């Protein structure tokens, strides 16, 4: 069975920029997709040639894994264009050398998994803030949020995204688990919830702003129309 474009795009939309917490398809990082029988070619591009090579590598690796997960795909050829380390990353990926094997002597200390975890935790905090923000806007108080259990949270897209990230971090997502927890899963004390969400907002603003900046740079680099805010 030949894989369909829709199926491959669906898989690609599950790949997120680890730093920006948005799908690479929404960010327009996928510049080309070709399907020939059971082989899929995907070309990726980034906002600048100097984008962090670690994040670049993670996205290429995640893209490959996502494409290979589509039924009927036997071969996935992923290439990153226009990056200062394009050649190394593409060759390393083709030979299955892993990140450290791709850049011998240029890594030390933390592994890429740890880096990924740092940003998953940030995005967890950001998603929690978005969800709580929506709940507060619906009239709940921060005291109520402090007491709330997951089973008491109404269904919503924000809630689903929050749970997904919470599960990825290995935190408790059982119905009776508290809603507001820190990235280690500890319940945030009632008298600290306001300050917790206040700081969480800064995390969200930072991630969202960065995503906006990267979109602008990509649009400029590849001559795409820029999305601008409506100026008041």
**Looking at beta carbons only, is 17 or 158 nearer to another protein?**
17
Question: What value, to the nearest 5°, has the Cα angle with vertex 56 and ends 55 and 62?
Answer: 85
Give, for 108, the enclosing helix (H) or strand (E). Answer: none
- For residue 76, which phi and psi values (nearest 5 degrees)? -120, 120
Rule CB under 8 A: say whether 139 interacts with another protein.
no
Rule CB under 8 A: say whether 125 interacts with another protein.
yes
**CA-to-CA distance for 41 and 152, rounded, in angstroms?**
44
CB of residue 176 vs another protein: minimum separation in angstroms?
23
Q: Which of 17, 42, 54, 135 binds another protein (CB under 8 A)?
A: 54
Rule CB under 8 A: say whether 106 interacts with another protein.
yes
User: In what order do the strands lie in the sheet containing 30-36?
Assistant: 30-36, 39-44, 75-80
What residues between 178 and 217 interact with another protein by CB under 8 A? Answer: 182-183, 192, 195-196, 198-203, 205-210, 212-213, 216-217
Rule CB under 8 A: say whether 53 interacts with another protein.
yes
Buried b (16+ CB within 10 A) or exposed e, 78-100: bbbebbebbebbbebbeeeeebe
Rule CB under 8 A: say whether 16 interacts with another protein.
no
How does DSSP assign 179-216, residue by residue?
S-B-TTSPBPPGGGHHHHHHHHHHHHHHHHHHHHHHHH
Rule CB under 8 A: say whether 65 interacts with another protein.
no
Rule CB under 8 A: say whether 228 interacts with another protein.
yes
**What are the residues binding another protein (CB under 8 A)?**
19, 47-54, 57, 84-85, 99-100, 103, 105-112, 115, 118, 121-122, 125, 182-183, 192, 195-196, 198-203, 205-210, 212-213, 216-217, 219-221, 226, 228-229, 231-232
């Amino acid at each position: 069975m030949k894989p369909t474009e829709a199926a491959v795009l669906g898989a690609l939309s599950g790949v997120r920029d680890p730093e920006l917490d948005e799908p690479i398809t929404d960010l327009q990082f996928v510049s080309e997709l070709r399907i020939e029988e059971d082989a899929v070619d995907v070309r990726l591009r980034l906002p600048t040639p100097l984008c962090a090579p670690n994040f670049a590598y993670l996205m290429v690796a995640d893209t490959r894994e996502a494409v290979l997960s589509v039924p009927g795909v036997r071969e996935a050829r992923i290439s990153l264009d226009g990056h200062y380390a394009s050649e190394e990353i593409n060759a390393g990926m083709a030979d299955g050398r892993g990140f450290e094997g791709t850049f011998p002597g240029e890594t030390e200390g933390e592994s890429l998994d740890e880096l990924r975890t740092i940003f998953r935790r940030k995005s967890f905090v950001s998603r929690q803030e978005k969800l709580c923000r929506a709940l507060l806007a619906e009239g709940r108080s921060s005291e109520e949020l402090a007491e709330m259990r997951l089973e008491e949270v109404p269904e919503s897209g924000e809630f689903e995204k929050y749970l997904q990230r919470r599960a990825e971090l290995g935190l408790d997502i059982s119905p009776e688990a508290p809603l507001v927890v820190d990235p280690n899963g500890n319940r945030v004390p009632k008298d600290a919830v306001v300050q917790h969400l206040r700081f969480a907002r800064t995390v969200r603003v930072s991630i969202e702003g960065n995503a906006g900046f990267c979109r602008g740079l990509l649009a400029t680099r590849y001559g795409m129309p820029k999305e601008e805010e409506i100026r008041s």
